[in-house]
Amino acid sequence: MTISTVLLGYATVLAVAGPRVLTGSGWVDRAPNLAIALWQAITASVLAAAVLAALSLAVPAVGAGASVASLIDACLVALRGHYSDVGQPVVAVSAFIAALALCAWTVGHLVHGFVGALRERRLHVDMLAPIAQHDPSLGALVVEHDRPLAYCMPGRVHRIVVTSAVIERLDSEQLAAVLAHERAHLSCRHHLAVTAADALARAFPFVPLFRAAAGEVAHCVELAADDVAATRHDRQVIAAAVLSIAGEPVPGGALGAAGRRIARRVLRMIAQHQPLGRIARTATATVIVGLLAFPGFVAAHPAIAAALDRHCPIPF
């Protein structure tokens, strides 16, 4: 079985089975930050495996020039031998182009996603400038509006925005909990994880893993912000506040207190969930490290074998 086949099979299994396993896992709600890291590790692992699978096909096409030292010639011959499952030049060149195209496609969508989110936030901030009033006691911008909205605008200058309807609808403790939730989004830079997941979902809409990751990461950042707010405010108060302002969409590029999957969040707050235990956290962290390391290890295995070959005495 070729290295490229192993990597492609690995990427396919993760891309299809990964979301089915993770979305049905109850522990995710107990450790949202760890869940975010796991989703990011799986997506990165799938992308790395796909790129390395293509590159492993391109290795046999590498040539040794006449002026290269004999040691390097021997090493290149050894490398070709260990990566020689598919040695056709056309296949190798096509695979190399595919690897470059995949990298360019991924990076392009990530850049477009982050630039687009930044542009949306700037436009929204400009729109708020003439109508919003800064309230020093809240540390937020207040906008007169009949819809209950509370959200944050990440960026170089962080802003939290609430409407007058939120102030009227919530009591002081609930309002403080909502503001704490928004500050958690800003301090933890949750917008980076959400924007990256959304960008990958747009880049690869046909891949179940990336589609699921966008929604799950957005949900997990809300749970993580709830947990931060719960360190200073009663969980019942947070649940009541979330219910009071639920159902209102926030502007593009912003993160709102109402967020997604309201019923699941409220039940979680009311049920007083137990955090994930140390053993489970350690096991999950080990899985994350394994996901990140596996594609590189598989792709490098033939090169390591070549280095250990007596014809390619590369010191370790």
Element (H, E) at 151: strand 150-153
- Residue 272: both structure tokens together: 């007083």
Asked whether residue 209 carries a pLDDT value surpassing 90, the answer given is: yes
pLDDT per residue as tens digits for the range 107-156: 999 999 999 999 999 999 999 989 999 999 999 999 999 999 999 999 88
Instruction: Give Dmax over CA atoms of the chain in angstroms.
Output: 80
3-state helix, strand, coil in the chain (%, to 5): 70, 5, 25
Asked whether residue 297 carries a pLDDT value surpassing 70, the answer given is: yes
**Closest CA relative to residue 260, chosen from 190, 173, 189:** 190
Asked whether residue 316 carries a pLDDT value surpassing 50, the answer given is: no
Q: How many residues does the chain have?
A: 316
How far apart CA 21 and CA 4 sit, in angstroms, is 25
**Closest CA relative to residue 243, chosen from 219, 275, 270, 220:** 270
- Dihedral of CA atoms 208, 290, 39, 6 in degrees, nearest 10, equals -10
Look at residue 304 in the predicted model and tell me its pLDDT: 64
In the chain, domain spans: 3-308
Element (H, E) at 305: helix 278-308
How far apart CA 159 and CA 152 sit, in angstroms, is 6
Strand order in the sheet with 159-163: 133-135, 140-143, 159-163, 150-153, 255-256
Please give the model's pTM, rounded to 2 decimal places. Answer: 0.84
Q: How confident is the model at residue 41 (pLDDT cuts 50, 70, 90)?
A: very high
Look at residue 65 in the predicted model and tell me its pLDDT: 39
